[in-house]
Amino acid sequence: MKKVTIHIMPKQGVLDPQGKAIQTSLNALGFSEVEAVQTGKLVELFVEEHADIDRRVGEMCDKLLVNPVMEDYHVDVEEAVRP
């Protein structure tokens, strides 16, 4: 079994109001060293062993998980046991 972790972030220049809200809140709490915040999504897939896992995961991102107009992503694959 493989664990596939997909990191999805808004593309450069896309507005991220949640990130802006977090930055404002952290600054208000006294964390003035925080100068920018971006938020994104994590998707962990637990996948049966498959010869062509990278291509299959690319298809999953294109068809369902990622909006290519707004978002960039990268993928890590590691060995795992089922959660």
Residues at the interface with a second copy (CB under 8 A): 1, 7-9, 12, 19, 22, 25-26, 29, 31, 33-48, 50, 56, 59-60, 63-65, 82-83
Taking alpha carbons only, the member of 48, 32, 38, 49 closest to residue 8 is 38
CB count within 10 Å of CB 4 equals: 19
Q: How far is the CB of 52 from a second copy (least distance, A)?
A: 10
Pair of tokens at residue 28: 């208000």
* Tokens read off for 8: 């999805």
Least Å from the CB of residue 74 to a second copy: 11
Residue 37 C-beta: closest distance to a second copy, Å = 6
